[in-house]
Amino acid sequence: MASLTDEIKRRRTFAIISHPDAGKTTLTEKLLLFGGAIHVAGAVKSNKIKKTATSDWMEIEKQRGISVATSVMGFDYGDYKINILDTPGHQDFAEDTYRTLTAVDSVIIVVDVAKGVEQQTRKLMEVCRMRNTPVIIFVNKLDREGRDPFDILDELESELKIGVRPLSWPINIGAKFKGVYNIYENSLDLFKPDKQKVQERVEITDLTDPRVDEAVGEADASKLRDDLELIGGVYPEFDKEEYLRGKLAPVFFGSALNTFGVKELLDCFVKIAPYPRPTQAEEREIRPEEEAFSGFVFKIHANMDPNHRSCIAFVKVCSGKFERNAPYKQVRTDKVMRIAAPTAFMAQRKNVVDEAYPGDIVGVPDTGNFKIGDTLTQGENLHFRGLPSFSPEMFKYIENTDPMKSKQLEKGIRQLMDEGVAQMFVNQFNGRKLIGTVGQLQFEVIQYRLLHEYGAQCRWEPLSLYKACWIESDDDSALEAFKKRKHQFMAVDREGRDVFLADSNYVLQMAQNDFPAIRFHFSSEF
């Protein structure tokens, strides 16, 4: 029987993040292909192949060709158990991605060789830096024309503010792309464009080997030798400890669509990436190898299965062993619950699991019992922090266009808000519901999902607001005076907390000056 420590050491839980269109979902597919979890990769945007990407299973994702929800997939690769969280790259869904980063031990960032580092990638890197999450970078789309690899390395260092060290190196790019030299394992991989199969490999121990010249031609072979000598001179040797501390990012080159350079990435990843680490709760640090089970909900997804209208709470196991039907305490409500049908995911395909270990993500059927950030334990009162909701920047009133369907609309809004894609407030002045998001696309997604998943129709009424911020004060009379003065701009969130709707930056600053006893918060964690 494998011990708890053995199980922990073979787990690798990571997220793949990038700017939209850098090839993140395609890379996820190819990793699953190597893990034997799928046998044919769905070309994500191709209309010829009707199998769309395994991780983009929501109807709207297939139509738009973008990922709007984090999907979780687990598979075995050799002796390792790998859990991938594929995140949305689109900035309107950044919040989902921020929360996902609280549930992983390391991250792979995908960068497009032609576009380099884009704004969204910088933001996500900030979050990794805050948490000292180790990062590996995969430079994608080498079979297309792009920028010089040395320029890309410089840009990665300056834009992401992290040391880099290439562990593979391309031989030309674009139309002349011939392959990649694997620095980590000293082998040469020759490129043959193929979306389903894996390329051939030449094992060499020494770069002076004449087979290198035979494989790629003399001119390219000598350029490769020069490049590698330069890399050796400019970049420090790869140091695993620096990588684990989040200070150094190994860089790999390849083409995910053509399944090239992906296996090198995966083989190196399982060797160097961290296994599950301790998690910081408010009360104490929780170590994965503790006997008692603990875990937290980092995401809730409505309608994983449109036939059953069910919600699923994603629980990250932090310590101990999770067992089906065992009594666990939900700390926020102080209730004991037994989970009869916990599931593990392969995108939408779910299998019921009997046990799970630290690092694993378990899906728990949710009938409205869970909120994001909830903790499950074997009795101890623990609270995990670090799952914020940010104050929204776009607002619209939501109106029901079909009075016969008001129940469906209520339920749909409630479940979609539980997912944390957007936030709902009730205006205290006129009693109307308003939805706040960080981007326009979310309104379209909500409207689409309400119609297709709940049969409810809504229309949006625009509203010009600058920011919604949570307010609190130790001085009750000051709070009352504020609410009286600003009664037209007061709302409550779903927890019943007071929210001030500021219609301009000026109004917000004046309010902060005029009411020094009031604290204004721009994220829901305070």
Helix 149-160 with 119-130: angle, nearest 10 deg: 50
Using DSSP's 3-state secondary structure scheme, residue 169 falls into strand
| Range in 63-72, 99-108, 497-506 with the lowest mean pLDDT | 63-72
How far is Cα 455 from Cα 229, in angstroms, rounded to an integer? Answer: 63
Q: What pLDDT is attached to residue 75?
A: 80
**For residues 273-295, average pLDDT:** 89
pLDDT over 80 at 132, yes or no = yes
How far is Cα 471 from Cα 479, in angstroms, rounded to an integer? Answer: 9
pLDDT over 70 at 6, yes or no = yes
Is-contact 356 396, C-beta < 8 A?
no
Question: What are the DSSP calls for 415-468, one per residue?
Answer: HHHHTTSSEEEEETTT--EEEEESSHHHHHHHHHHHHHHH---EEEEE---SEE
Is-contact 111 156, C-beta < 8 A?
yes
Q: What pLDDT is attached to residue 45?
A: 35
| Range in 65-69, 101-105, 160-164, 377-381 with the lowest mean pLDDT | 65-69
**For residues 263-274, average pLDDT:** 89
| pLDDT: which is higher, 346 or 320 | 320
Q: What pLDDT is attached to residue 248?
A: 92
**For residues 70-82, average pLDDT:** 79
pLDDT over 60 at 403, yes or no = yes
Q: What pLDDT is attached to residue 389?
A: 64
Rounded to 10 degrees, the C-alpha dihedral 247/253/256/259 comes to -120
How far is Cα 473 from Cα 397, in angstroms, rounded to an integer? Answer: 28
- What are the two backbone dihedrals, phi and then psi, of residue 399, each rounded to the nearest 5 degrees? -120, 140
**For residues 107-127, average pLDDT:** 85
Q: What pLDDT is attached to residue 189?
A: 77
Residue type (1 letter), 98? Y
**For residues 414-425, average pLDDT:** 80
Confidence of residue 201 (pLDDT cuts 50, 70, 90): low
Residues 6+ apart with CB under 8 A from 477: none
Q: How far is CA 132 from the centre of its chain?
A: 16
Q: In angstroms, what CA-CA distances link 126 with 89, 105, 132?
A: 15, 16, 10
Is-contact 303 238, C-beta < 8 A?
no
Q: What pLDDT is attached to residue 347?
A: 44
For 49-119, strand residue ranges (E) read 71-77, 80-86, 106-112
pLDDT over 60 at 51, yes or no = no
Q: What pLDDT is attached to residue 202?
A: 66
Q: What pLDDT is attached to residue 17?
A: 82
| pLDDT: which is higher, 365 or 206 | 365
Using DSSP's 3-state secondary structure scheme, residue 296 falls into strand
Strand-pair partners of 427: 491
Question: What are the DSSP calls for 370-398, one per residue?
Answer: --TT-EEESS----B-----BPPSEEEEE
pLDDT over 90 at 491, yes or no = yes
Q: Is the dihedral angle over the CA atoms 381, 384, 385, 387 positive or is it negative?
A: negative
Q: What pLDDT is attached to residue 153?
A: 92
Confidence of residue 200 (pLDDT cuts 50, 70, 90): low
Burial category of 213 from C-beta neighbours within 10 Å (exposed 0-12, middle 13-18, buried 19 and up): middle
pLDDT over 80 at 53, yes or no = no
| pLDDT: which is higher, 92 or 454 | 454
The DSSP element (H or E) to which 96 belongs, if any, is helix 94-101
Q: What pLDDT is attached to residue 306?
A: 52
| Range in 204-213, 214-223, 265-274, 433-442 with the lowest mean pLDDT | 204-213
Sheet holding 200-203, edge to edge: 168-171, 179-182, 187-190, 200-203
**Average pLDDT over the chain, rounded to whole?**
80
Confidence of residue 482 (pLDDT cuts 50, 70, 90): very high
The helices-and-strands tally (H runs, E runs) of the chain is: 14, 31
| Range in 113-127, 245-259, 325-339, 485-499 with the lowest mean pLDDT | 113-127
pLDDT over 90 at 251, yes or no = yes
Q: What is the CA radius of gyration of the chain?
A: 25
Q: In percent, how much of the chain has pLDDT > 70?
A: 83
